[in-house]
């Protein structure tokens, strides 16, 4: 090969590399613009704060504070993660729960987290975002007027899975965050949650996660000293079978953990949502209040 041919080859290689780099940059920018264009809107009456910047866009918490909140408070807090199969959904799902608990004296948050439809991400990012949200809340306890040792993670369906993972699953901590601040909640409130993502549990787990399905399967991380937990689940749920949470509850108790399972006879998936059934919503809220009161997170009245 003569010198002219070598120079031409080098030139074409450089052009190719520049093209690949340009395509990657454009794709990332397009993804970010697409996410921004269909971003979730702040919930009415909530403070809207970024808890995590990501390549796909900023993630926010909708923060509802009690009317008598003041700087220097040390209130209990709760963060809810919406359902949607790790693919869809909206923080507005738990807006009623947040407003109710704020009226009872808690600082209540409805979290955004990355999902496939908006961010082209996987369930593993969902879990990492859930841990980041709990850590951010604890890290900003003084600013939020909360007690860093009274933080609850809650959620429904896939959001219940995210919440359960924050209290059970090991790993999926963001390397750029302060690892000295725990990402684990002090209690969990789970609504028809996915607790087993392997072949013995929710069938969507193995389909989406493949050989990695055990990595974010809460039931496979049960051990001593996990957060006290309450689970609300319909006995007729065909999406996440009741047997899954029965098994989870049994193993939690066998390891000395507090875990209460409240079954709703003949109720299916999503039975607890206010938009679906007010009676079920009221019932689960009443029992959630009792659970939080027993932990000293709400005052008895």
> How many CA atoms lie within 13 Å of 146's alpha carbon, on the beta-carbon side?
30
pLDDT value of position 287 = 98
Question: Block means of pLDDT (10 residues each) for the chain, length 301 residues?
Answer: 52 48 40 56 97 97 98 97 97 98 98 97 98 98 98 98 98 98 98 97 91 97 98 98 98 98 98 97 98 94 60
pLDDT value of position 132 = 98
Could you tell me the pTM of the whole model?
0.88
Pairwise CA distance, residues 262 & 267, whole Å: 12
pLDDT value of position 7 = 56
Which pair of tokens denotes residue 33?
């613009």
pLDDT value of position 29 = 41
pLDDT value of position 39 = 87
pLDDT value of position 203 = 87
pLDDT value of position 136 = 98
> 3-state class of 24 per DSSP?
helix
Q: Are 39 and 58 in contact (CB under 8 A)?
A: no
pLDDT value of position 114 = 98
> 3-state class of 36 per DSSP?
helix
> 3-state class of 19 per DSSP?
helix
Q: Are 184 and 170 in contact (CB under 8 A)?
A: no
């Amino acid at each position: 090969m003569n010198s002219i041919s070598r120079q031409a080859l080098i030139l074409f290689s450089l052009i190719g590399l520049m093209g690949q780099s340009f395509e990657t940059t454009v794709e990332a920018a397009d993804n970010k613009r697409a996410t921004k264009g269909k971003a979730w809107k702040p919930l009415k009456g909530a403070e809207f704060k970024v808890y995590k910047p990501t390549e796909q866009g900023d993630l926010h918490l909708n923060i509802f504070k009690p009317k008598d909140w003041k700087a220097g408070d040390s209130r209990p807090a709760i963060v809810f993660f919406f359902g949607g199969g790790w693919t869809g959904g909206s923080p507005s799902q738990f807006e009623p729960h947040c407003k109710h608990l704020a009226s009872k004296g808690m600082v209540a948050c409805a979290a955004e987290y990355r999902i496939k439809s908006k961010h082209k991400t996987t369930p593993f990012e969902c879990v990492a975002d859930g841990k980041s949200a709990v850590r951010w809340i604890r890290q900003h306890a003084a600013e939020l007027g909360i007690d860093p040792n009274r933080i609850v993670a809650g959620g429904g369906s896939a959001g219940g899975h995210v919440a359960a993972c924050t209290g059970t699953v090991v790993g999926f901590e963001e390397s750029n965050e302060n690892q000295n601040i725990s990402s684990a909640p002090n209690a969990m409130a789970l609504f028809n949650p996915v607790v087993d993502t392997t072949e013995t549990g929710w069938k969507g787990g193995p389909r989406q996660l493949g050989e990695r399905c055990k990595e974010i399967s809460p039931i496979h991380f049960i051990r001593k000293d996990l957060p006290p937990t309450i689970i609300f689940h319909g006995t007729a749920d065909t999406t996440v079978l009741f047997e899954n949470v029965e098994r989870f509850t049994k193993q939690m108790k066998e390891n000395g953990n507090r875990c209460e399972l409240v079954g709703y006879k003949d109720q299916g998936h999503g039975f607890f949502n206010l938009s679906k059934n007010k009676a079920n919503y009221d019932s689960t809220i009443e029992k959630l209040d009792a659970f939080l009161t027993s932990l000293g997170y709400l005052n008895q009245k």
